[in-house]
Structure 1
Amino acid sequence: MSAEAAAAAGATGARDRHPHPHPHPQRDPHRDPHPQRDPHPHPHPHPQRRWKKVLYQRQPFPDNYVDGSFLEELRKNIYVRQYRYWSVVLESSVVIQQLSSVCVFVVIWWYMDQTHLSPQQLFASGLIVYLLGYLLFDLIDLGEGRMHSGRTRWADLKSTVVFVTFTYGFSPVLKTLTESISTDTIYAMSVFMLLGHLIFFDYGANAAM
């Protein structure tokens, strides 16, 4: 055997004893050299359950967990009504008018009880104020309210005469009937009736009182 054949046999035996640690696999000619990857890989094999705003259902979330959709259905100031300053002042004047009427009634009664005001003076001053107010309102209104209501001055005069006549006619009867009633009872009834007037008076409000 020649020296060249012996050297070739030795090299072949060395390759058999020490194979290559990382052999190169053969590539499939039909396989895509650039495979496509999932653009949205899932970190878990099963998607996470969505939180629901349900109290009676057991969910895999802590007790104090709040999702971002917790306040989605919250609505604020849906039925807010905008008010104007002067309209509120005008509507509140009705309440102030009734409170003032009750205060005037109590003050007049106290003056008459203390003999600082006689019934004749009260009647004369009330009649004068009534006539002045009636004429002033008629001048300011220019007869528009009278045209809408259909009332005449003669009808207003008849109503005044009937009211004054019945008041003077029934005053002695009322005085006789109330003499047997104690003063405390009259005071209590007056207080309850004044409070009832303030509570149940028609203030012209649209909402329920």
Structure 2
Amino acid sequence: MSNTKPIWKKVLYERQPYPDNYTDKKIFLRDLRKNINVRELTFTEAVLGSLLILQEFCNIVTFVSIYFYLLYEWIEPVVLLTCMSVVTTIAFIYYILVFSKNVIHKLGNDLRTIITFIVVGRLFSPVLHTLTDTVSTDTIYTTTFLMMAIHMIFFDYGVGAAIVSNSVSLSTAIFASICLASRLSTAFNAFILMTAAIEMFVLFPILCTALKNPLYFVWILLIIDIYLLVYLSNLALILYMSTVVLISIVCPFLFVYLQKYKETIYGPWDEAVVNDVDSIINNFQIL
């Protein structure tokens, strides 16, 4: 009777005269694989992917610019509220007619939500207006910057990553809005700013997700931001344009350039993956 061991096979649930952690040294490096199923993106694809980040950055800049225009009283609050209401109403009607199946039911629920927000917002705007009177303005601005940065980090850009959290992203944006609203001169202005926050950080992403085309929104927001920043601050405009170039051109270029240095390895040390479950069950029953 021969004592020669059979050739080791990398299979599951089959009796072999080898330890469970055994690996044949002759085929250890032979099974090494690099960059399996890796698809290199083009510069155009990388730029289009960065538009989602650029869109949310422009959205934040628009909101902050609205705050400063209200703070310096460069715009009539009633005019601003009217413009925002008209744009939101048009977008809402379009969303209801195009993307909603049960229009009547959806319209009724949304109208109740709008009425509730208007009533509660107007009642609590005096509280929001005086909420942080004892806090310095520098602290408020620093906190706002940090909250908006966290908002961008956790925002849902359509990528299924563990760091994505809609609740954290929305909560930080609303908290930053409350901080800024407390620095305005009147409770009505605070209510308008909170209305803008709801429209831009709650309703606007819903419409963007439904349309799935950020290019048009990015161009609209870019034009609005440039127009607002021209009268606000030349330095802010320069920093804004530099950030836009960084997000939409520099970062995609670096991403595409550094793709050739990416190297992921696969081999016998990886966890086993069961591909044919039925076959495994049949072999297990036979044993």
Q: TM-score range by the shorter chain?
A: 0.5 to 0.7
In the alignment of these two chains, the number of paired residues is 137
- Whether 2:142 is the aligned partner of 1:188: answer yes
Give the distance between the partners of 1:136 and 1:113, measured in 2 at CA. 32
Instruction: Determine which structure has more spread, i.e. the larger CA radius of gyration.
Output: 1
Match in the other structure for 2:61: 103
2:185 paired residue number = none
Which residue of structure 1 lines up, in the alignment, with residue 101 of structure 2?
147
Q: Aligned Cα RMSD in Å?
A: 3.3
- 1:179/1:149 Cα in 2 relative to 1: closer, same or farther (>3 Å)? same
Q: Show CA shifts across 1:143-182 (max 9, x none).
A: xx32289952111111111112222111111112222221
Residues 89-168 of structure 1 aligned to structure 2 (within 5 Å): 92-139=50-97, 141=98, 145-147=99-101, 151-168=105-122
- Structure whose residues are more often helix by fraction: 2
Alpha-carbon deviation of 1:193?
1.2
- Cα separation, 2, equivalents of 1:169 and 1:157: 18
Code of the residue aligned with 1:189 in structure 2: it is T
Matching residue of 1:197 = 151
Which consecutive unaligned segments of at least 5 residues does structure 1 have?
1-68
Q: Residue deviations 1:26-83, cap 9 Å, x none?
A: xxxxxxxxxxxxxxxxxxxxxxxxxxxxxxxxxxxxxxxxxxx9x8555232031466
Structure 2 CA distance for aligned equivalents of residues 121 and 191 of structure 1: 27
What's the % identity of the aligned pairs?
Answer: 35
Q: What does 1:4-23 correspond to in 2, within 5 Å?
A: none
| Contact 2:56 2:152 (C-alpha < 8 Å) held by counterparts | yes
- Runs of 4+ with deviation above 3 angstroms: 71-74, 81-94, 148-151
Higher relative contact order (CA 8 A, sep 6+): 2
* 1:120 CA drift (Å): 2.1
> Cα 1:82–1:154, aligned 2, differ >3 Å: closer, same or farther?
farther
Partner SS for 2:82: helix
Q: Secondary structure at the match of 2:74?
A: coil
Please report the TM-score for the alignment, with normalisation by the length of structure 2. Answer: 0.41
